Structure 1
Amino acid sequence: MIDISYVITVYNKADHIAPMLNALERQEGDFSREFIFVDDGSTDHSLDIIRERTKDWPNVRILEQENAGVSVATNTGGFAAKGEFIKIVDADDAMTPYASRRLLDMMRAHNLDQIAAEWKLSPDIETDSKNALETDASLDILENPLSEFFKVGMGGSTSTMIRTRAFKDVGGCDERVFVQDFSLPLRLSKKHRMACTDLLVVFGPENADGRILDAQATVIHDLSATMYYFLMDNPDISADLQRLAFKRCAGRAWKWAKRKQGKSIFSRAFYLYLLSRLPIWQQTSHLIGETMYIWKDETVRQSGSKKV
């Protein structure tokens, strides 16, 4: 079996892709690897750059699809993976040279299904990733990953490594949601073994056109949409976590409505926020769905499948 399958999703990243490819070539370690590039309907020269740069690499597959969003693209690559572990890589990020080796060692030593590490923004990801110094790192195995997600959240892509069997077991990312960073750890958190580490494994660009991190409405919408769909699919989640999810989603909606839309305390958003404070709810997916109206007139990126 291949040890690591790198799944690299690409959409119009021609101006940022070189440092990512350089960092892939610098990955240290005596492990077998494959590279799965998923071009999500790029209209620039991203695909040409990848083909030229990787023509002499072993075990490269380049998959092409019509533009459907990063969740769908991640699933395309993830379900094609043959490795024991999946290393998701965003096309505009650059990993530190030791990243794969150290994460692989942690995954195996502690029998993990997913690990999340540290990342930083940088004005020069090529230089910073290349010169990053390997350090000691702590490891925190999550006793209750599901509760952790609802209380403080989880996210990340290039900073994570996932057991391929676990990825496929949960059905990959939720393709109803554009952003893949949230739905995958949430799905894994229900019954899989997860951990986090303070090891620095990736640098992301401070400025990158089309970066999801900069699409604030999409990110906040998708975090709530992720919880909405998850609770719809998993009505057996405990009532305390159901209530916490409703409280967090209603709070996000009210904060956005107040700060970005000028809504008052007489608005529907504030009413839902007040409802979320009541300790009476047993099932809350339908209530979270009610909060999603606030994003109706905002610019929210859509996945290949319908959104809320």
Structure 2
Amino acid sequence: MIELTKFEDVKKARQDFPDYVKHTPILRAEKLDEVLNHKVYLKPECLQTTGSFKVRGATNKILSLTQEEKDKGIIASSSGNHGLGVALSSNMLGVQCTLILPTNAPKTKVDGAKALGANVIQHGFGSIERYKKLYEIMDEEGQTLVHSYNDPVLIAGQGTVGYEIMLDIPDVDVVVVPLGAGGLLAGVCLAVKSMNPNVKVIGVEPEAIPRYTESFKAGHPVEVELKDTLADGLMVTKTGEYTYPLIEKYVDEVVTVSDESIQKALKHTIFKGKVLVEPSAVVGIAAALSNKIQFSTETKVCYVLTGGNIDAEVLNNLIK
């Protein structure tokens, strides 16, 4: 039987990496109140040094390694943001890293990882292809895997997002979290529900890849077909053995959103919320815009904005 992440692990993670990870602020977005018809709070993880929350889990994982494991180096597969987090953490902690990124990874993420000293290999489109290549390299060179979501230590690091939300707005009513493979949502729901079980936690995934929606319908984890979506950071086809049980236990609701609603949400977040974000970050706001989730005008809702790494050309096309 696997051992799942505990709330004590989340608290320890927050204590261990204050010098490496920012405690991002809570932004009160009154202009978005007018659009969404409730009180909007933003948790802008796009303000992390790498522009994404992923540095939290990566740092916690690398800090947990033995010196022997650090000496052999680490390896990770990523659609981009996890790779940046691993690259920054390994750079700060003096550990060599190799990253397997998809061939369609945004140039800003590829260049960012290389600038941090990572050995970047671009291979395949989906996570299955990337992990096949990763395991081939691991077998040859002996690095330690820093998984992008399916690791209890990494989940504890991601959970510090929820921990900080509860510290900064303890009277929050709802926390809305983008949902890919589930590492972030698993950690956040664990932290939030442990600190106040009355707070509602909602996960939002792109309707093109509804892995959790379909898993909950089936009553067990299932894999779905990989399709393209504006939310490139959420392009994973299956759940994780360490993420699914936590999400099933603690998350109140999971909804899906279309690319059209994601594009509208991106514009509103940038021009009314005044925060530069990537499409994956705004799926929660997209859910509210498309009435997939609805709240009363006095409800305090915190939206986690997961990242802000978007190519200038892509951004220009999306906000026209």
**Structure-2-length-normalised TM-score:** 0.27
Relative contact order, higher structure (CA 8 A, sep 6+): 2
Which structure has the greater CA radius of gyration? 1
| Structure holding more strand per residue | 1
| Structure holding more helix per residue | 2
**Structure-1-length-normalised TM-score:** 0.28
